[in-house]
Structure 1
């Protein structure tokens, strides 16, 4: 029954479940006798996303912080706190499965903000590579508008793209 319920969730929401994150740690270089086992990595919010020259790359599904260069005695939760102190998932004081719907949606709103910021930064880098001399790809750290949405000014073109992404998101903005 629990597996069927989990399958009904969106892919992003399934990542709140530890078993889903554990399943990403195929060919993880650290197993028994290490502090950074797949179970402990997943419990700290990480998913395994290896690259050709980095078999130990892990990324927090929530704040999107990537860490690599793991040592067998590294504590995943402590490393996560050290490198991404503002991660709301790390600061969470309860199991995500026990959150109320309102708490979950508020938390997921933060995850979506992180994804939008990451997308904006990626777009800015791409634009910077193609238009290096214009200087118009400035990222500012203030949200646009009073809604609290994390829409960062990259340029008017990118702001429109991000606005469309928000309009297409799976949930509407909540007043929390």
Structure 2
């Protein structure tokens, strides 16, 4: 019974994308397959999950560092692209499957993933605030100049 509880912990959404098989499942509608470097298997192995949008069907996001990449070409090597665009990503630098990590490595991966999410959310919030402040400033300037 205790072992079952431990296994259920890893079914949690926090850990779900740590595992290759779960990342691979996200590439069901990936536009590249077969005879190219950025196959679903290679993308998932490099830590990416597929997160398409209506106008960008090839968006991939690292589950750990949250780096978002799009505009993939058939010859793009996902591991090399990940390393070149996010050289500090703990997952890509560790070069291990989750199943082969030590407890210390696993906990550091979790910490780095959570830190990346917090940083991304903070940056998104700051950008929204800056845009809102700019719009408000423009509104105030127009009002002061009588241009409403």
TM-score (norm 2): 0.81
TM-score (norm 1): 0.69
Residue 101 of structure 1 deviates from its aligned partner by: 2.3
Residue 127 of structure 1 deviates from its aligned partner by: 1.2
C-alpha separation in 2, matches of 1:105 and 1:39: 25
Look at both structures and tell me which one has the larger radius of gyration over its CA atoms: 2
Q: 2:61 aligns with which of 47, 59, 62?
A: 59
Q: Is the 2:26–2:50 Cα contact (8 Å) retained in structure 1?
A: yes
Task: Summarize deviations over 1:20-43 as a string: whole Å, max 9, x none.
Answer: 000001211101111110000000
Which residue number corresponds to residue 121 of structure 1?
A: 123
C-alpha separation in 2, matches of 1:103 and 1:58: 24
Bigger share in helix: 2
Q: How does 1:5-84 map to 2 (within 5 A)?
A: 5=7, 8-84=10-86
Unaligned runs of 5+ in 1: 135-176
Q: Count the aligned residue pairs.
A: 132
Q: Is the 1:6–1:14 Cα contact (8 Å) retained in structure 2?
A: no
* CA-atom RMSD in angstroms: 2.1
- SS in structure 2 at match of 1:131: helix
Q: Determine which structure has greater relative contact order: mean sequence separation of CA pairs < 8 Å that are 6+ residues apart, divided by chain length.
A: 2
